[in-house]
Amino acid sequence: MVSQTEENYLKALFHLTTETVGKQDAGTNELAVFLEVKPATVNDMLKKLKEKELVAYEKYGKIALTEKGRDYAVMVIRKHRLWETFLYEKLNFSWDEVHEVAEQLEHIQSKKLVEELERFLGFPEIDPHGDPIPNAKGQIKMVQRQTLAQIATGKTCKLVAIKDSSASFLQYALQLGLGLSTQIKIKNRHDFDGSLEIEINGKPSTVSQKFAENVFVV
């Protein structure tokens, strides 16, 4: 039995170790910041997860998921993204509302539920944020992604995903008229601070480099 809390630790560990290239492990403080708990709490939990053979770690060493832990994390992420897709496509949820509810739904235990939900949705490959949905075998179809900051001046691109999907970012994006598949034209780039002048559906805006690095496009 893996508790909801434990599932959240596995998911966090997956995000911290897999979603940055060339980073296979994480630290106690890092996890604590990510999960908004104290390092001592993380430490206690790591002992439990090690006991269950879901994470590999030694005292004062780096933290990584085991194969078993990674598989478990992927299944939670699969559920999360399927539910997000359901909420967005069937229940009129907006881009910035899906995450919070999916955080709850991802912990429902029922193999049949996940598989039928996937079928019901027509085996979607990406969620409303453009992230890939792992299949029943735990395989994730990786998509080549560039950030808005990497696109040359003058080019037009399409939003496919975002990196940090916090509600504050999503609301800002929504305000700019930005959503999945939105066309973005890069009008001008300020080398001074990396900020970009862009055009969204004919409407001009200026966004920071940090913003641009948070937006994946093709």
* Contacting residues toward DNA, per CB under 7 A: 3-6, 27-30, 36-41, 43-48, 57, 59-61
Q: Name the site residues for a copy of itself (rule: CB under 8 A).
A: 87, 90-93, 97, 100-101, 104-105, 108-110, 112-113, 116-117, 120
Q: In sequence order, what are the residues at sequence separation of 6 or more whose Cβ sits closer than 8 angstroms to the Cβ of residue 77?
A: 11, 14, 106, 134
Given the complex with DNA, which of 4 and 171 has the nearer CB atom?
Answer: 4
Residue indicated by tokens 């080549």: 144
Give me the least distance between CB of 198 and DNA, in Å please: 35
Distance CA 127, CA 180 (A): 10
Give me the least distance between CB of 110 and a copy of itself, in Å please: 5
List the single partner that 6 binds among a copy of itself, DNA, none, CB under 5 to 8 Å by kind. Answer: DNA
Give me the least distance between CB of 108 and a copy of itself, in Å please: 5
List the single partner that 177 binds among DNA, a copy of itself, none, CB under 5 to 8 Å by kind. Answer: none
Q: In sequence order, what are the residues at sequence separation of 6 or more whose Cβ sits closer than 8 angstroms to the Cβ of residue 184?
A: 148, 156, 157, 158, 159, 178, 198, 199, 200, 215, 217
Phi/psi-derived region of residue 20, left when phi > 0, alpha when psi is between -120 and 50, beta in every other case: beta
Given the complex with a copy of itself, which of 65 and 114 has the nearer CB atom?
Answer: 114
Given the complex with DNA, which of 107 and 145 has the nearer CB atom?
Answer: 107
Give me the least distance between CB of 104 and a copy of itself, in Å please: 5
Distance CA 211, CA 169 (A): 9
